[in-house]
Chain A
Amino acid sequence: DIQMTQSPSSLSASVGDRVTITCRASQGTDNYLAWYQQKPGEVPKLLIYAASTLQSGVPSRFSGSGSGTDFTLTISNLQPEDVATYYCQKYNSAPFTFGGGTKVEIK
């Protein structure tokens, strides 16, 4: 099975900062890579799919990039409401494995 490794596991940044989260797959995912945001006490929300396509309604400060095995989620102008844990997921075939998560906090 393909393993999904996220880094860092947590980060603290200031409002307005540019934040980058990395996701590495142990094998290629054919760019079937999604990113989710889960705020404390809430249900996960799809942010990005197909590695770089923004889900409808998601602010444009979120972006995704990468291909093959290495992917990145970038928050270009961190806002207080972005405090959450972010997960990557491969969905080309089962098992649809999630990464371990990256907790983003405000400094």
Chain B
Amino acid sequence: EVQLVESGGGLVQPGGSLRLSCAASGFTFSNFAIHWVRQAPGKGLEYISSISNTGGTSYYANSVKGRFTISRDNSKNTLYLQMGSLRSEDMAVYYCATGGGADGFGIWGQGTMVTVSS
């Protein structure tokens, strides 16, 4: 079964750091780019970051550039998002998603909640 499973969310104080993980299974992870998308409570979907299949190329939305770092370990079939200098506006459910070689984001994880509060 094709699956993405996020972990690492939780409560963090403003200014703090957190690392999210996304474990992939059921497909050849190293063949495909993969992305992070977030959704603040009651709000819409916000694309935040992508990484190429090899990890050699990455992209960040302006809202997280300089504070978040995306990375992947193809030997572990895992995607990461290192988040720093967290703000209240970063509070959201964070999803990893990929097309798995097809168009659009056809495969999504179940999401992990990040709460930023003192």
Chain A residues with a Cβ under 8 A of chain B:
32, 34, 36, 38, 43-46, 49-50, 53, 55, 85, 87, 89, 91, 94-101
The 10 A-B pairs at the shortest CB distance, nearest first, are namely: A34-B104, A49-B103, A94-B59, A49-B104, A101-B44, A98-B45, A46-B106, A43-B108, A96-B47, A46-B104
Most buried by B among A44, A49, A96: A96
For A97, list chain B residues within 8 Å (CB).
Answer: 47
Residue of B nearest to A32 (CB): B103
In the complex the two chains form, what is the Cα distance from A13 to B50 in whole Å?
A: 37
Contact of A91 with B104 in the complex, beta carbons under 8 Å: yes
B92-118 interface bits toward A, Cβ cutoff 8 Å, 1 = contact, 0 = none: 000101010011111011110000000
A22 CB, min distance to chain B CBs, angstroms: 16
A98 to B44, Cβ gap below 8 A? yes
Interchain nearest-CB distance for A23 vs B (Å): 13
Chain B residue total in the interface (Cβ 8 A): 21
What's the least CB distance linking A90 to chain B, in Å? Answer: 10
What is the CA–CA distance of A49 and B109 in the complex, to the nearest angstrom? 19
Asked if A43 and B45 sit within 8 Å, CB to CB, the answer is no
State which residues 27-78 of B face A: CB under 8 Å.
35, 37, 44-47, 50, 59, 61
Interface hub of B44, B50, B59, B97 (most chain A Cβ within 10 A): B44
A101 CA to B50 CA in the complex, in Å?
21
- Does B103 contact A91, Cβ atoms closer than 8 Å? yes
Tell me which residues across on chain B come within 8 A of A94, comparing CB atoms: 50, 59
Assuming the contacts A94-B50, A96-B47, A100-B44, asked whether A89 and B105 have C-beta atoms less than 8 A apart, the reply is yes
B47 close to A101 (CB less than 8 A): no
CB distance from A39 to the nearest CB of B (A): 13
Write out the residue numbers on chain B whose beta carbons fall within 8 Å of the beta carbon of A36. Answer: 45, 104-105
Chain B min CB distance to A29 (Å): 12
| A43 & B50 in contact (Cβ 8 Å cutoff) | no
